[in-house]
């Protein structure tokens, strides 16, 4: 520190010139920061453009992608998105029901030790329109089965199909859009409203 001070004195730096130089350095650093931020955003935009181009082909100079057509196409685009959503998340059953084959599930402790095996080679067929009751003592796996059906839990092995589709192929979001149930635990609010 003493060396820096002696160097500043030898160059006749006053406190005012030191503050001015520090301020200029700060502005230069902020300018570089803005350039880096701009470059990052530019790279993101280029990646998005490349993704669009890879899906629909070259769009630069194409008359369909010019500004006059954008407003005209928004309504059609929104309808196509809704149509794709309906295809992706069907609400009409194919009539195949729920099938669970050779399901194996056990709870594992935080250190990786199996604590309790809930299902060992469990099989179940649920026919659409039928009423099925799961009856058993506490801890026998009734809620666990619904957690597996809704992908809140993953089985160690086995196959669960709904309408012929293996739920392992579905994303969590897809399952949540198609399946819902009310759990036995009700989470509302702590305390009262006054």
Q: Give the chain's mean pLDDT.
A: 75
Question: Full-prediction pTM beyond 0.85?
Answer: no
Where do runs of H (alpha helix) occur along the chain?
A: 2-10, 15-56, 67-88, 142-149, 172-178
Instruction: Find the mean pLDDT for residues 90-104.
Output: 77
Name the more confident of 127 and 3. Answer: 127
Mapping DSSP to helix (H, G, I), strand (E, B) and coil, where does residue 135 land?
coil
For residue 21, give every residue at least 6 positions away whose Cβ sits within 8 Å of its Cβ, in sequence order, or none. Answer: 13
Concatenated DSSP letters for 94-114? -S--EEEEEEEEEEE-TTS-E
- Residue 125 forms beta bridges with which residues? 99
Tens-digit pLDDT profile for residues 141-174: 888 888 888 888 888 889 998 888 888 888 777 7
- Give strand pairing partners of 114: 108
For 119, counting Cβ atoms within 10 Å of its Cβ (0-12 exposed, 13-18 middle, 19+ buried), the class is buried
Structural domains of the chain, ranges and CATH numbers in brackets: 1-57 (no CATH), 98-178 (3.40.50.300)
Q: Which residues contact 16 (CB under 8 A, 6 or more apart)?
A: none
CB 187: neighbour CB atoms within 10 A? 6
**For residue 63, how many other CB atoms are within 10 A of its CB?**
7
Q: Tell me which of 140 and 10 has the higher pLDDT.
A: 140
């Amino acid at each position: 520190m003493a060396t820096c001070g002696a160097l500043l004195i030898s160059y006749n730096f006053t406190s005012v010139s030191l503050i001015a130089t520090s301020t200029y350095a700060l502005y230069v650093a902020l300018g570089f920061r803005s350039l880096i931020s701009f470059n990052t955003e530019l790279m993101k935009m280029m990646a998005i453009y490349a993704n669009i181009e890879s899906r629909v082909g070259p769009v630069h100079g194409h008359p369909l992608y010019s500004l006059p057509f954008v407003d005209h196409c928004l309504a059609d685009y929104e309808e196509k998105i809704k149509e794709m959503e309906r295809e992706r998340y069907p609400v009409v059953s194919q009539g195949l029901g729920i099938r669970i084959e050779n399901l194996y599930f056990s709870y594992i402790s935080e250190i990786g030790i199996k604590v309790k095996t809930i299902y060992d080679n469990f099989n179940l067929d649920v026919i659409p329109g039928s009423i099925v009751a799961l009856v058993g003592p506490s801890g026998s796996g009734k809620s666990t089965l619904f957690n597996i059906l809704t992908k809140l839990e993953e089985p160690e092995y086995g196959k669960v199909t709904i309408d012929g589709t293996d739920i392992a192929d579905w994303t969590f979001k897809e399952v949540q859009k198609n399946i819902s149930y009310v759990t036995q635990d009700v989470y509302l609010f702590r305390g009262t409203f006054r």
